[in-house]
Chains A and B, each alone.
Chain A
Amino acid sequence: MATALASKVKVRAEKRKAQHKTVSDWIVDTIIVILLVAIVASVIYPLYFIIIASFSDPALVAQGKVTLIPQGVSFRGYEKIIMDERIWTGYRNTIVYSLVGTAVNLLVTLPTAFALSRAEFKPRRIILFLFTFTMFFGGGLIPSYLLMKDLGILNSMWVFILPGAFSVYNMIIARSFFETSIPEELRDAAQVDGLSYFSYFIRIVLPLSGAIIAVIGLYYFVGHWNDYFTGLIYIRDLDKQPLQNILQMILLSNQTGQGAASMSALESQNFADQIKFGVIIVSTLPLLVIYPFLQKYFNKGVMIGAIKG
């Protein structure tokens, strides 16, 4: 009773305090609200505009009449995109590269992070130094290019999987997680039960690490999905190019218009714009779909990364 009453009194006191804001506080509050609304609007509006423009009448979009609601709904851009074989090739390639790539990433990163999180494993300091040094210094473009050539993985799928299979940054995030979030008593108990490092890692640590696997899995997956550089430098054949490179090709080639013969120059230009909006949506769709499911892990992931060192 007493505590309930006390809290009620407290709430009332706080309310009264809130009502007695000074004038300058009111001004500051208003400015903060205005700024936040402006920021949110400026982030969301471009994304929203691209979505509605992708299925609005391209002529109206060009005249600037499409602002808040889609006008003259037309899916011709999407029809054209779906019929474009390059998009499907790119999609297939990117899905394969991203899934296989992320799987390999996790297979390499998690055990490494675990091994380096064990304090009794003395060589870990020097191994860690060997790894972190590569974050700040590298061989550069041409030596890497020549290496891929010598390895014979130029213009093949492996160039997407192997060179980036291990990210030191993500390993450090996972390592910090293992160090701070898995209680050391578990290892002691496991040792008493005669568990080896392998079975301890697989049967005890991994099941407790869902959040971190989701976070670094997401980092890796987004990295693969958005990768443009690898396709640009190492891939020559069109049928091996990932989605981002195909996307760039379509965006460039459609600069001058690719519409039907019956269209005027202006019409085909507008149509080309609609295709642009469409491919942007199509290529970003999978990330937009998984975004809501994974965003609860973001704060956690970044925070774990922050307490390294």
Chain B
Amino acid sequence: MAQAAYKKPTRAELRALNKSRKKREIQEKADRRKRLGPWYKRLARHFRLYWQLWLMVSPAMFLVILFSYVPMYGVQLAFRRYDPLKGLTGGDWVGFEYFEKFFRDALFFRIIGNTLRISMWTLVMGFIAPIFLALLINQIGGEKTKKFVQTITYMPHFISTVVMVSMLNIFLSPDSGLIAKLFPTINLMGNQAAFTPIYWMSEIWQHCGWNCIIYLAALASVDTSLYEAAKIDGAGRLQLIRYVDIPALLPTAGILLIMNMGSVLGVGFEKIFLMQNTLNIQASEVISTYTYRIGILSTQFSYSTAIGLFNSVVNFIFLIMANQIAKKVSNTSLF
């Protein structure tokens, strides 16, 4: 009955309602302003109340402005011809000259191809592996065994890149390496076709355990009655994983996938750089190592900045796109 009594307001009524509400809001704002005084008084009051909080954030703000925003401002170097005497922003304006130079660079397609190939493999495999490992670890019944497996698989995460790459060199070295013995005819570290698999597999070896923590937590929060209900319905081990565990992981997985998409062209510099040698350079030169070679080693500052800027812009576009897609598909998004 109550529903029948409700009469849908007409458009005019709604408009009037909105108008009066807006009026009231404006009035309230004005009242507040009157009570608190003019803007400088309000500002003074704000600082009187919160100056300690401002003091607490100021070192970080100073550092971020100096070390992140000043270089961002310096990105205009990509559009100027660098002149050591005039500094970062004093060179002649040349527009997109350095970008065109990069697009016409003989290495352009190879570098972009390498970057995309290495990062896509790492992204996809590095996304699947932790989910798989988390599902496996979650099957362990005993708490102690679970802890043990976790402790072991986290460990490599803390190894430095230098040590990681030297371990690769040791285990893949053609005369004495343990893994190299499985491939007696090829020199793995010097093989172009082997570079990408070596890269992503070692990435997984190192970070899979660590990256699965977050999934394990998601699995730990699954309501146990779901398992019981599924068991009563006759679900076996595999069905429990398929119909209870995996759906529980999907939201987390979505967010992580978006975050990873933001670094499609951003494969880490250190590891690739350390893995490079004269034999595999054709397959291992990526954007970040190329900016280093051009910028620091051959001091073509403007050209290197242009390549770096191209890289960040593409990354940013990928991030926005992934975020947008995720918003549409699954209602999970980063921002």
- Min CB distance B141 to A, Å, is 10
Which one, A50, A112, A118, contacts B59 given CB within 8 A?
A112
- Min CB distance B222 to A, Å, is 15
Q: Is A233 an interface residue (CB 8 A)?
A: yes
Q: Is B334 an interface residue (CB 8 A)?
A: yes
Interface-lining segment among B17-25, B72-80, B101-109, B111-119: B72-80
Other A-B pairs, 13, CB within 8 Å; known A140-B304, A280-B163 = A25-B236, A64-B178, A118-B53, A139-B68, A139-B73, A140-B75, A144-B67, A166-B59, A166-B60, A197-B56, A201-B56, A247-B160, A283-B160
Q: Are B153 and A39 in contact (CB under 8 A)?
A: yes
Q: Are B155 and A147 in contact (CB under 8 A)?
A: no
**How many Å lie between the Cα of A39 and that of B63 in the bound state?**
42
Q: Are A50 and B167 in contact (CB under 8 A)?
A: yes
Q: Are B176 and A64 in contact (CB under 8 A)?
A: yes
Q: A43-B205, A139-B74 are in contact. Are A112 and B56 (CB under 8 A)?
A: yes
A46: B residues at CB distance < 8 A: 167, 171
- Min CB distance A127 to B, Å, is 6
Interface-lining segment among B1-9, B120-128, B131-139, B192-200: B131-139
B151: A residues at CB distance < 8 A: 295
Instruction: Count contacts between A and B, CB distance < 8 Å.
Output: 233
Q: Mark A118-155, 1 if CB is under 8 A from B, else 0.
A: 10111000010011001011111111111100100000
A298: B residues at CB distance < 8 A: 154, 213
Chain B interface size range: 35 or more
Q: Is B170 an interface residue (CB 8 A)?
A: yes
Q: Mark B157-188, 1 if CB is under 8 A from A, else 0.
A: 01111110011011100011010010000000
Q: Are B295 and A141 in contact (CB under 8 A)?
A: yes
Q: A136-B319, A142-B308 are in contact. Are A115 and B296 (CB under 8 A)?
A: no
How many A residues have CB within 8 A of the partner chain? 86
Q: Of A32, A196, A284, which is in contact with the most chain B CB atoms at under 10 Å from its CB?
A: A32
Q: Is B140 an interface residue (CB 8 A)?
A: yes
Q: Are A39 and B133 in contact (CB under 8 A)?
A: yes
Q: A28-B236, A39-B133 are in contact. Are A162 and B52 (CB under 8 A)?
A: no
Q: Are B56 and A244 in contact (CB under 8 A)?
A: no
A112: B residues at CB distance < 8 A: 56-57, 59-60
Q: A131-B64, A280-B163 are in contact. Are A138 and B71 (CB under 8 A)?
A: yes
- Min CB distance B168 to A, Å, is 10
B75: A residues at CB distance < 8 A: 139-140, 143
Q: Are A62 and B236 in contact (CB under 8 A)?
A: no
**How many Å lie between the Cα of A165 and that of B63 in the bound state?**
8
A280: B residues at CB distance < 8 A: 163, 166-167
Q: Are A141 and B67 in contact (CB under 8 A)?
A: no
**How many Å lie between the Cα of A280 and that of B170 in the bound state?**
11
B160: A residues at CB distance < 8 A: 225-226, 228, 244, 247, 283-284
Which one, A28, A222, A273, contacts B170 given CB within 8 A?
A273
Q: Are B60 and A162 in contact (CB under 8 A)?
A: no
Q: Are B57 and A137 in contact (CB under 8 A)?
A: no
B205: A residues at CB distance < 8 A: 42-43
Q: Is A72 an interface residue (CB 8 A)?
A: no
Which one, A64, A147, A225, contacts B74 given CB within 8 A?
A147
Which one, A50, A130, A140, A228, contacts B162 given CB within 8 A?
A228
Q: Are A248 and B274 in contact (CB under 8 A)?
A: yes
Q: Are A140 and B309 in contact (CB under 8 A)?
A: yes
- Min CB distance B86 to A, Å, is 12
**How many Å lie between the Cα of A62 and that of B296 in the bound state?**
38
Q: Which residues of A contact B (CB under 8 A)?
A: 22, 24-25, 28-29, 32, 35-36, 39-40, 42-44, 46-47, 49-50, 61-62, 64, 107-109, 111-112, 114-116, 118, 120-122, 127, 130-131, 134, 136-147, 150, 162-163, 165-166, 168, 171, 196-198, 201, 222, 225-226, 228-229, 232-233, 244-245, 247-248, 251, 273, 276-277, 280, 283-284, 287, 291, 295, 298-299, 302-303, 306, 309
B133: A residues at CB distance < 8 A: 39
Which one, A25, A28, A120, A138, contacts B312 given CB within 8 A?
A138
Which one, A143, A166, A248, contacts B63 given CB within 8 A?
A166
**How many Å lie between the Cα of A143 and that of B291 in the bound state?**
12
- Min CB distance B170 to A, Å, is 7
Q: A143-B77, A145-B296 are in contact. Are A197 and B52 (CB under 8 A)?
A: yes
- List 23 contacting pairs A-B, 8 Å CB cutoff, sorted by A: A36-B149, A40-B149, A43-B153, A43-B205, A64-B181, A107-B59, A111-B59, A120-B50, A131-B60, A134-B64, A137-B316, A139-B70, A140-B291, A141-B305, A142-B304, A143-B71, A147-B66, A162-B67, A201-B56, A244-B160, A247-B166, A277-B170, A306-B217
